[in-house]
Amino acid sequence: MIGEVEKKERVCVTGAGGYTASWLVKFLLAKGYVVHGTARDPCDEKNRHLKRLENASENLKLFKADLFDYEGLCSAVSCCSGVFHVACPVPFPGTVTDPQKELIEPSVTGTKNVLNACLKAKVKRVVVVSSVGAVMQNPNWPKDEAMDENCWSDKDFCRSTENYYFLGKTMAEIEALEFAKRYEQDLQVITVCPALIIGPMLQSPLNSTSLFLLTLLKDGHQSVADKNRPVVDVRDVAEALMLVYEKPEAKGRYICSSYSYTTHAFVDTLKTLYPNYSYPKSFTDPEEEIKVSSMKLQKLGWKFRPLDKTLADMVRNYEERGLLSNVKPCGCSEKSD
């Protein structure tokens, strides 16, 4: 990580207690930034981990605000030179009853509210967290060509496949970049599209990705779908967000993905580190490989961790929290640093 900032620059992180945002807050504080974080309820138990971070007592302030609370967002971004818009609803599978209200409106309206608050506060630069889901739902992209920043998910295709999370992310990112064009003299806007984010957690509540990964380790399913997923370490995402914020030459859109793995290959890699967990017994036919390119981000200076390091840290984190206590670990984690 780059050395400390020369002076205490003030930045805001929306949804500060979330999975990715928590790591971003941790890295920003460690580097000397003063951080404003938004949370629906700053006093909620699930945000306690933020107050225990290095430098948090003196350099972290939490503000009560959600994505529909424009005035609350204005208070949070006031006096900040930069904003990281990370907050976004990521529901557990099967829990969404009204996609428009629960996914699309928070994504799009929330992004508009954050950007308008930044404009009002004369913030210099905003980094908006999108998703690789805003890239790869494009059936017309050439099959043999890696998807890059020129590739956009087709909104009609997302609707037809009922992939409303990706639809919301696509619409919100389009809104962010169009906003950037309208106000380019006043506000710089950069978007980052992470792949499926994995790795250790700082927050207490399980997020949807961690829940999925835990099922691969302990539920012993007879068969699971062999999906193909681009993945990236949560810490590498946080560092990518800081990189595009700090690099003056960073512009536009950046894909943030390290590896592309089928579920079967992912489990095989886990087995080499932790052979005694209760893995799926078989896999359906694998999906077609998804190729996405992070070359633009790498040219800016981004580097990512080896996958086995990410998995070792992730499983150790689960073990320390007692999330795998009902299955017998192999004791291999000490060798996997």
Q: Which of 101, 112, 120, 169 is catalytic?
A: 169
Residue 282 burial (10 A CB sphere; 0-12, 13-18, 19+) = exposed
Tell me how far apart the alpha carbons of residues 276 and 94 are, in angstroms, rounded to a whole number: 30
Tell me how far apart the alpha carbons of residues 240 and 152 are, in angstroms, rounded to a whole number: 20
Concerning whether 169 is annotated as a catalytic residue, the answer is: yes
Tell me how far apart the alpha carbons of residues 320 and 325 are, in angstroms, rounded to a whole number: 9
Q: Do the Cβ atoms of 235 and 305 come closer than 8 Å?
A: yes
Catalytically active residues, by annotation: 169
